[in-house]
A and B are shown apart, each in its own frame.
Chain A
Amino acid sequence: MQEYVEGGTLRFEWRDFPYLGQESLNAAVAARAAQEQGRFWEYHDLLYRNQPGGFPDEKLVGLAREAGLDAERFEADLASGEYEQIVTSDFREGQQRGISGTPTFVINGQVLSGLQPVGVYENAIEQAKREAEGET
Chain B
Amino acid sequence: MSETNKNTVGATERSWSLLFWLPLIAAALLLLCGCAAQSSQPSSGQEPQAGREGQASEQTGRPAGVRGEAPQRDAALGYPSLGDADAPVVMVEYADFQ
- Interface of A with B (CB < 8 Å)? 1, 4-6, 8-21, 23-24, 27-28, 31-32, 35-36, 40-41, 44, 47-48, 51, 54-55, 82-83, 85-86, 89-90, 93-94, 99, 102-109, 121, 125, 128-129, 131-133, 135
B53-89 Cβ-contact flags toward A at 8 Å (1 or 0): 1110111011100000001011001011111111111
**Complex Cα distance A110/B97, Å?**
23
Q: Is A102 in contact with B95, judged by CB distance below 8 angstroms?
A: yes
Closest chain-A Cβ to B50's Cβ sits at a distance in Å of 7
Question: Chain A at the B interface: mostly helix, strand, loop or mixed?
Answer: helix
Q: Is A108 in contact with B90, judged by CB distance below 8 angstroms?
A: yes
A-B contact count (CB 8 A): 161
Chain B residues with CB below 8 A from A131, complex form:
61
**Complex Cα distance A8/B63, Å?**
13
Closest chain-A Cβ to B58's Cβ sits at a distance in Å of 5
Chain A residues with CB below 8 A from B83, complex form:
4-6, 8, 10-12
**Complex Cα distance A21/B86, Å?**
35
B20 within 8 A of A: no
A13-B93, A28-B96 given; 10 more Cβ-contact pairs under 8 Å: A8-B83, A12-B92, A35-B80, A41-B82, A86-B77, A93-B52, A99-B94, A103-B93, A107-B89, A125-B89
